[in-house]
A and B are shown apart, each in its own frame.
Chain A
Amino acid sequence: MLNLTRLEVEGFGPFADLQIIEFPTGPGITVIYGENMRGKTSLLNAIRYAFFGTVLGRSSRVRRLHTISNRELATLGKFGFSVALFFEHDGQEYELVRECLPRIAIPESDADYDQRVRLRCGTMTLGPQERDRILQQIFPSEVSRFFLFDGELLQEYEELLISESDSGHRISEAVERILGVPIIKRGRMHLTQLSEDADKLAAREASKHTETQGLGNSLQQATEQREAHKNELTRLNADLQVMTDERAEIERYLQSVQKYSSILNERDDAATRVKEAARAEIETRTELQKVMATAWRSLLRDPVSAARESAQTETEKALNSLRMAFRAEAASAAHCGICEQDLDAAAVHRLRESVAGAGEPSPQVVAGIAATLAQLGSLGRFIATDSVGEVRLLWTRLQSLRVEQVVLEDKLKDLNTALSDADASAIRGSRASYAEILEKITIQKRAIEEQTQKIAEKDNSIQNLKRRIDAAGKSDVLASQARARLLRNAAEVFSAAVERYKSDLRKRVETTASELFLSMTTEKHDYAGLTINESYGLTIRHKDGHPEDARSAGAEHVVALALMGALQRNAPLRGPIVMDSPFGRLDDGHTSNVVQALPLMADQVVLLVYEGEVGRSEMRDLLGGKLLREYQLDKISARRTNIVPVR
């Protein structure tokens, strides 16, 4: 069990001068009140820095140490900082001091600093190797997320509900680590490794005897083949891990450029549409040119029609005059000059009557008949077309395409400006790489399945061979076989124990988390508890037996806190919980319940809180005797904070 006893910070964040917090011994809560920007997160980071040498910013990004130096002191030319953490672990006192000291007068980057670490155990200062080993034993960095956390980190626990999520997988591994699963896993791994070595030895022993030589050689061969398959499997798994890491990295990158990514999509779409509009404009223009080649006919249609009517009239008039002239001539000569027939008196009379009143035919009209007929013929050959509608349509389309291009180009300019800070080619490249890596992972998983199958086949044939060698009953062979059997059986036990232990743990974590959740939720009458999944993700279970799929941010928060508490209570690893402003997403009712549940979560809890979340008198009422000590962060200036005991 780890217990913090004292923290000293100097030059770290807003703590310019040496500031000290004494943590009370015994189970209970220490509360540190501080307004925003006073240094609550810096205190959490000071503890993290002391143990691991890292300082985290938003989204768990590691901050540059150069930026941690107190800024007021930095303006005076004083850089660097130190944190001293005093703690007890299993009855032993420790003092851990980590300092970050500038190498040059005006440091500009982390490279300009030296870090010094000292771990005193009782009265003895440990050497670097022993120091690192002890620190890793006392507080493994992989599980720090369950002891040092803020509201933002709590949100990550939702990932445990997404089985395929990489971050969920990482958290799940950390959960198993705190619960002690690696101890059995490593036991299984070492027993398996030694069992295989023992198999090889047994095979060598068997091949020394004539009776078992053949079997021994076969066994040796089979164990070598199995080893080769296992090596290949190890290689494939290592490659898969590299690919999975690469996928996670690309996912993180794409997530970080998500805003740019959607703008880039929009830009690519706009660029494509501009090209399409330009192509359509060319096509429309070509079509318009074609239509315009015959469009003049539309303009001449009415004049030609009028001219045709006029020529028709003139022609008819001329033909009529000519007809009258022929009749008059026939009546006068009593002979038709056209059909060369003589006319009788009656016919002559009728002809004279038909031409009576008609004037003499105009010689010009008669002479112009040929020209009039020719003109009529020409006008008749004119093909009248109406392409006005089509021209108008094409023209309108052309205009609209031009407008579309102008609008899109304008949009493109805006989008390009928005993308000026982004590396578009990197985003495109990452998308392509992402698709590629997904495909590679699928292929790799298939290869792993094949290799696993081959190993199982070899295992079977090895067991058969061993049984046959056993039957031969040679004493030295039996001795090595006994060793191999002991290891193999133990490996089998550990292998089954891994699954059983995990399953039991899940049940215990589920039960404890349910108790904690029900003590913290304000919906006690509706909810029955929490249900745990394979990855330790927790779902709220309604009293009607159904899961609550749509959970509010506040509910997620309470579930995450319940998980933290449950892990603490079920883990062989025990230590203090240091929480920075964990009530951000909670309403008053939930906040009060969570405060009251804090003593159930861990023996030592350090709560960094903004008084707007929980006031002092309320805190005292809620925690009663469990509230052991209070501090407040006093503002001296924007860049300087002092830590003052309240009571």
Chain B
Amino acid sequence: MQTVNLSDILQTVEKIRMERHPDLDAAFLVDVVEAEQANQEDDAEALHAVQLAVQKSLDRLGGV
């Protein structure tokens, strides 16, 4: 019964990104949603996954 359909959540996040921070890396936000979905019962794992997503995004932006 776990979350299998994240499209509504992703759509909402993307809409807000476009409205407020169009320059923000859209793929990063998708990574965060997926990290949270995959680690709903584990804070430490979720934080770790989000940190990895941050580095991935920064690397995409030119290895800042």
Contact = CB atoms under 8 A, between A and B. Distances in A.
Interface of A: 1-2, 89-90, 133, 136-140, 147, 180, 182-184, 186-187, 190-191, 193-194, 478-479, 482-483, 486-487, 489-490, 492-494, 496-497, 500-501, 504-505, 572-575
B21 to A, nearest CB: 5
15 contacts: A1-B1, A137-B2, A194-B50, A194-B51, A486-B28, A490-B29, A492-B20, A493-B20, A493-B21, A501-B12, A505-B8, A572-B3, A573-B1, A573-B2, A575-B1
Contacts of A190: 32, 36, 43, 46-47, 50
Given A194-B51, A504-B12, A479 B64 contact: yes
Interface of B: 1-6, 8-9, 12-13, 15-17, 20-21, 24-25, 28-29, 32-33, 35-37, 40-41, 43, 46-47, 50-51, 54, 57-58, 61, 64
B9 A183 contact: yes
Contacts of A133: 41
B16 A496 contact: yes
Contact of A496 (B4, B5, B20, B25): B20
B58 A573 contact: no
A497 B1 contact: no
Given A479-B64, A494-B13, A497-B12, A572 B5 contact: yes
A497 B40 CA distance: 18
Given A187-B33, A490-B28, A493-B24, A572 B4 contact: yes
A572 B6 CA distance: 7
Contacts of A575: 1
B21 A492 contact: yes
Contact of A486 (B2, B47, B57): B57
A183 B15 contact: no
B16 A493 contact: yes
A573 B16 contact: no
Given A138-B1, A184-B13, A194-B50, A490 B24 contact: yes
A49 B56 CA distance: 43
B64 A493 contact: no
Contacts of A180: 3, 6, 8-9
Contacts, number: 118
B24 to A, nearest CB: 5
Contact of B16 (A182, A194, A479, A500): A500
Contacts of A497: 9, 12-13, 16
The list of the 3 closest CB pairs from A to B, nearest first, reads A575-B1, A572-B3, A2-B1
Contact of B33 (A136, A184, A489, A496): A184
Contacts of B29: 490, 493-494
Given A133-B41, A194-B54, A504 B8 contact: yes
B4 A1 contact: yes
Contacts of B64: 478-479, 482-483
A137 B29 CA distance: 22
Given A483-B64, A500-B15, 12 more contacts: A139-B1, A187-B36, A190-B32, A190-B46, A190-B47, A478-B64, A486-B28, A490-B28, A497-B16, A573-B1, A573-B2, A573-B3
Contacts of A139: 1
Contacts of A500: 12, 15-16
A186 B36 CA distance: 7
B48 to A, nearest CB: 10
A137 B39 CA distance: 9
Contacts of B17: 493
Nearest to A498: B12
A572 B8 CA distance: 9
A147 B1 CA distance: 11
A191 B36 CA distance: 11
Q: Which of A138, A180, A184 has the most CB of B within 10 A?
A: A180
Contact of A183 (B3, B4, B43, B50): B3
Contacts of A194: 47, 50-51, 54
Contacts of B9: 180, 183-184, 497, 501, 572
Contacts of A1: 1, 4
A90 to B, nearest CB: 7
